[in-house]
Structures are given as structure tokens and as C-alpha cells.
Amino acid sequence: MSISIKPNTTGLIFAMREEQEGLQALITDQELHHFAKRTFIQGNLWGHPVVMVLAGIGKVAAASTTNLLIHHFHVAQLLLSGVAGAADARLKVGDIVIAQELLQHDMDASPLFPRFEIPLSGKSRFLAPPDLYLELQNATQAFIEEIQQHFSPQQIQEFQLQKVQMHTGLIGSGDQFIHDKQVLGNLKRVLPDLLAVEMEGAAIAQVCEEHALAFGILRTISDSADETAHIDFQSFVKNVAAPYTLGILKKYFENKN
């Protein structure tokens, strides 16, 4: 099927199938397209044109998928929603982080270039466009205020969702699931403002910056990036992170004109 390009389309990228749970069924007027071993679901979500895709995990998967969304669907903006490990003691499992800056924490071409700098670009940090992260903040705040409507009292107890907080700041991405206090500590020593670690955001940021495209990165804290990081990970993603994504994106699209 040939693609009909829809103006103002939002690209929705997910790294894991469980993270997009429930959302796919809400897309109306679906058309499926296949490129590069991925299925792109084009349609409307709460009245807005979207293309949703499961990118896979890691920076290459994210960058490659971002390029496909730009070139085949001419998306006007990109959103990624998923999970991250906490890199700051103030962040608790169940909190939400919105990226203001992103950095590839495993980029190291030193001594040719400073650690973290993308060679020949002169930069190590990518700034998220403020308009979009402010809209995500508003949607997230509204979601947090009515969190009891999305989870049963038992779930709130089980997943400790009584005092969910929103944070905005630096997210670090790398091709590494961090599950070691020492590894995290080493990163934190050189990046004191690091809030969370994940595996895709800064790759999307780099490609979007090259194309002057707006992007937003939204992450639910699923673990503390230490030795316990893998415990109940899948259950958390399915039972907490996926409903967060659905609830926050609904608020976001309902407020969007």
C-alpha cells in the first residue's frame, strides 16, 4: 500500500512491545506499512495523525527507525515513551522523567575528542525543544493528579505509586542495560546532573537535530540501575509503564490543537 502523507503527523517510537501495550488498539483508521523489518501503524490517535512503530532496543535501532519515520512518513515531530533506570537518588521507581537534555553516555573517542562528544559535531548534549517538553510536562502533571483513576489501590500499594514525582533534566543513553551501582557511580561522578539512563533517547535526539525536527522523550523510572534492576522488570513495564504512556499521551493529544 502506498503511503499517504498526513500533515502534522506525530511519530510514536517504542523500544519494547510491552511499552506500547494497549495503545495500538486505540489507533483508528489503521494502515500498516512495512520497512526494514518493522511494522509502521499509521492512523489517528485521539483525533491526531500518528505513525506508531516498535523500533527495538538500542541506539542503532532508534536512529534507524527515526530516519524511516522522517523519510517515509514526513513526520512533524517524534515522541518516545518508555522506561529508564534512575541515576539520581531523588528519583524513585514509578517517577517520570522528561528529557530537557540528552547525551550518549557510551560515546568516547578520547583523546581525539572530549569524552561524550559526538565526533565532528562539537557537541555532547542535545537540547530537547522546550515547547514540546513543556506540553509533556503539563500532560504528565495532569496524569499524576488523577493517578488513582488509572490504578487500583492494590496496584498503588504493590508498585509504590503513592508519591509519584515528575522530573525534567538530563537523560543519558547507551547500548548498555545498567545494572551495577559502580558503573552508574562512575557515570554520575562525571555527569552529576544525570537523572536517568536508557538506551535510545539521545540517538533519536541526534537524528532529529540533524533534521531540525521536534522531539520529546518521556521515561518512567523502572529500576535503580543497580544489581536489582532486572527484578520484576517486565511486570513493571506491562503493569505500570504502559498505562502511564497511555494516560500521559491521552492528556497530551487532548490538549494539543
240 binds ligand ADE (CB under 6 A): no
Of 227, 207, 224, 226, the closest CA to residue 215 belongs to 207
Q: Between vectors from CA 80 to CA 74 and to CA 84, what angle results, nearest 5°?
A: 160
In the chain the first and final C-alpha atoms are separated, in Å, by 29
* Binding residue (CB under 6 A) for ligand ADE from 223, 241, 244, 247: 223
Asked if residues 256 and 45 have their Cβ atoms less than 8 Å apart, the reply is no
Q: Which of 145, 158, 223, 227 is catalytic?
A: 223
Active site residue 223: yes
Residue nearest to ligand ADE (CB): 85
**Residue 203 contacts ligand ADE per CB under 6 A:** no
Helices (H) and strands (E) in the chain, counts: 7, 10
- For the question of residue 198 being annotated catalytic, the response is no
Distance (Å, rounded) from C-alpha 135 to C-alpha 137? 5
Does position 85 bind ligand ADE by CB under 6 A?
Answer: yes
Q: Which residue type does 204 have?
A: I
**Cβ at position 135, least distance to ligand ADE in Å:** 24
Among 52, 62, 79, 84, binds ligand ADE (CB under 6 A): 84
CA atoms within 13 A on the CB side of 238: 4
- Only segment of 5-13, 102-110, 116-124, 171-179 that touches ligand ADE (CB under 6 A): 171-179
Q: Which stretch binds ligand ADE (CB under 6 A): 30-38, 193-201, 209-217, 243-251?
A: 193-201
The catalytic site residues sit at 19, 223
Residues that bind ligand ADE in the complex, under the rule CB under 6 A: 83-85, 177-179, 197-199, 222-223, 225, 229
